[in-house]
């Protein structure tokens, strides 16, 4: 137990095991580096749509990736969490830990969570590792997200039937320096995918293969 351990009670008498397989070996097998594409933005901004189209494109071009999506993860791993600031923080912490494991396994993780708090996204960057963390702000304006209202949630939030709804009765803190900003009211989905793919290439994620 070290004094820097924030949870000494739960984490006594454990220590990390090193793998006999190096990151470099995994990168050679997968011919890619495991990174996390962290999509953040309002509900209805287009995060899931971009994530799915990007996953389709990456897999079609022979890459390994997997989507972690708010609505899906909240049915399983994070089914015990709601939407208070503390619960959102724990939601993001667990997702970041999962993304880190995916990356360590050689997989590209695409995450689609509102992740409204800057401090939580900073925590995610720290957990994943800044060198592997690409923050993408899906910056579609709130008015457009509310017009789209694909799940009728904005209507319910306006009517007071949902509390703490991001953009209506809860804050969204915009990223100050994201790797990309994509406004889906201005960009076709395929254009957004190309922009992210080009970013991955420029960051050397695919080595010299693509
Ligand atoms: S986050 O804030 O913790 O990152 P997350 O992305 O997991 O949120 O989940 C957001 C999804 O949960 C929304 O797309 C919406 O479908 C649903 N939802 C239900 N209640 C709320 C709420 N109060 N605020 C935001 N989204 C909500």
Catalytic residue (choose from 115, 185, 192, 202): 115
pTM of the model: 0.93
Give φ, ψ of 169 to 5 degrees: -130, 15
Shortest-distance Cα residue to atom 7 of ligand 1: 70
Q: Answer whether residue 111 shows pLDDT above 90.
A: yes
Q: What is the pLDDT of residues 44-69, one digit of tens each?
A: 999 999 999 999 999 999 999 999 99
Distance 157 CA to ligand 1 centre (A): 12
Please say if 115 is a catalytic residue.
yes
Q: What is the mean pLDDT of residues 96-103?
A: 98
Find the residues whose C-beta lies inside 6 A of ligand 1: 43, 70-71, 74, 83, 88, 91, 113-116, 151, 153, 162, 164-166, 170
Q: What percent of the chain has pLDDT over 70?
A: 93
Cα 42 to Cα 197: distance, rounded to the nearest angstrom:
22
Helix (H), strand (E) counts: the chain = 8, 5
Q: What is the pLDDT of residues 71-82, one digit of tens each?
A: 899 999 999 999
Distance 200 CA to ligand 1 centre (A): 27
């Amino acid at each position: 137990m070290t004094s820097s351990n924030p949870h000494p009670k739960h984490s006594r008498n454990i220590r990390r095991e090193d793998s006999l397989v190096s990151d470099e070996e995994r990168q050679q097998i997968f011919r890619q580096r495991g990174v996390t594409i962290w999509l953040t933005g309002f509900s209805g901004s287009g995060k899931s749509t971009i994530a799915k189209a990007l996953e389709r494109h990456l897999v079609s071009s022979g890459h390994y990736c997997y989507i972690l999506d708010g609505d899906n993860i909240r049915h399983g791993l994070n089914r015990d969490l709601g939407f208070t600031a503390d619960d959102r923080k724990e939601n993001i912490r667990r997702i970041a830990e999962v993304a880190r494991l995916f990356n360590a396994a050689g997989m590209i993780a695409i995450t689609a969570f509102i992740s409204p708090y800057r401090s939580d996204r900073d925590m995610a960057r720290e957990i994943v590792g800044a060198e592997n963390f690409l923050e993408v702000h899906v910056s579609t304006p709130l008015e457009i997200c509310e017009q789209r209202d694909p799940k009728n949630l904005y209507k319910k939030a306006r009517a007071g039937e949902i509390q703490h709804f991001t953009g209506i009765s809860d804050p969204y803190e915009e990223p100050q320096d994201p790797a990309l900003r994509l406004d889906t009211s201005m960009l076709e989905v395929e254009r957004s995918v190309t922009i992210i793919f080009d970013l991955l290439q420029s960051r050397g994620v695919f080595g010299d293969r693509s």
